[in-house]
Amino acid sequence: MRDVVEPTSTLMFRETHEAPAVVALQKARNDDVCAELAARYQKTRPRFVTTCARGSSDHAATYAKYLMEVHLGIPVLSMAPSVGSIYCHPMNLKGCLFIVISQSGKSPDLLACAQWARKNGAFILAVVNEEDSPAAQMADAVLPLLAGLEQSVAATKSYIASLSALLHFTAAMSGDMALGTAFNRLPEHLDAALALSWEEAVEPLADAETLFVVGRGLSYGVALEAALKLKETSSLHGEGISGAEIMHGPLALVRRRSRVLAFSQEDATRPGLLELAEVLRGKGAKLFMAEEGTPESGRLPVVPGMHPAAAPIAMIQSFYTMANQLALARGMNPDNPPSLKKVTETL
């Protein structure tokens, strides 16, 4: 008989609950950094932005792509680290803002790619938790995550800190007051998200072998992150997918009793996700959607009235609490997933 572990006793639970304080610290410490970066680009915007990251940090980069393209009107590309770390061919990166996103700032491929990008003319911004890390030392500017020590293998508060730091930076760059207010209110909204229960989804997902995790636009990055966390902490194969892409070939995999978890913020992507929900339910899928609205079966509660750029951050906050419960329900230790370690170094 296995020991019963209380959900509130795990590192994952405790670190998830530290996220609101981390974001409040970012507001206090990073305002000047963001203002300086914004001033740099007031006269001459970057020709384009390139992100370089892996794992959860790459999911934060996906969020940044939608956030910056929508609010800055600048193309945002995802650089495959191997382009700079293995292939190393010259590339014209003059006028490029190259953003390295990493919790540890130590992965050899990210470091090599950043060095390559600098040689090719890019300005390097390191968004890192470790302010004295190699990535921070080689960068032209550093935007610290300020998440502090994170012991659980599954990154939670550092991922939320990555999203909030990117929101903070984009709000400063854009001068969009509504976006700035969304960042300033994020600590209270994250506290509110922690009080919301997604327990309804735990039992139905506990006996699943696979599921789709769906997002669109600004929520696509958190859908990818949620799918990764389900793999890491519950050994549950979650496939993160766009609400548009699932309507192509993957829809053939959806059948009666299929499980789907979806994230839906209140913006122009919402009508399409509502249509998708009807299609999925029509095929007999068990759908759980994080969305605003009156309580009903399958609707996971979210903090109402949030700016659509900030809403996915609060959604992933609520998800982490549920994922912690789900891992325990499946007999897993969310703090120590099999075959994984905290810092992954790739070439």
Distance CA 237, CA 264 (A): 21
Beta-strand relationship, 259-263 and 210-215: parallel
Helix-helix angle 220-234:157-174, to 10 degrees: 170
Q: pLDDT tens digit string along 21-76?
A: 999 999 999 999 999 999 998 878 899 999 999 999 999 999 999 999 999 999 99
Q: Burial code of 104-127, b = ≥16 C-beta within 10 A, e = fewer?
A: bbbbebbbbbbbbbbebebbbbbb
Q: Burial code of 31-43, b = ≥16 C-beta within 10 A, e = fewer?
A: eebbeebbeeeee
Q: pLDDT tens digit string along 275-308?
A: 999 999 999 999 999 999 999 999 999 999 999 9
**CATH T-level assignment (fold) for domain 7-184:** Rossmann fold (3.40.50)
pLDDT at 280: 94
Helices (H) and strands (E) in the chain, counts: 13, 10
For residue 1, is pLDDT > 80?
no
181 or 256, which is more confident?
181
Distance CA 130, CA 167 (A): 19
Q: What average pLDDT does range 112-136 have in this prediction?
A: 96
Mean pLDDT of the chain: 93
Query: 68 by DSSP, 3-state: which?
Result: helix
C-alpha separations of 205 from 36, 97, 287 in Å:
46, 41, 10
Q: What average pLDDT does range 147-160 have in this prediction?
A: 91
Q: Where in the chain is the domain with CATH 3.40.50.10490?
A: 7-184, 192-329
Q: What average pLDDT does range 137-145 have in this prediction?
A: 97
H/E run at residue 206: helix 202-206
Distance CA 107, CA 239 (A): 25
Query: 257 by DSSP, 3-state: which?
Result: coil
**Closest-CA residue to 213 (of 288, 323, 301, 163):** 288
Query: 64 by DSSP, 3-state: which?
Result: helix
Pick the CATH number of 192-329 from 2.170.260.10, 3.40.50.10490, 3.40.1400.10, 3.40.50.720: 3.40.50.10490
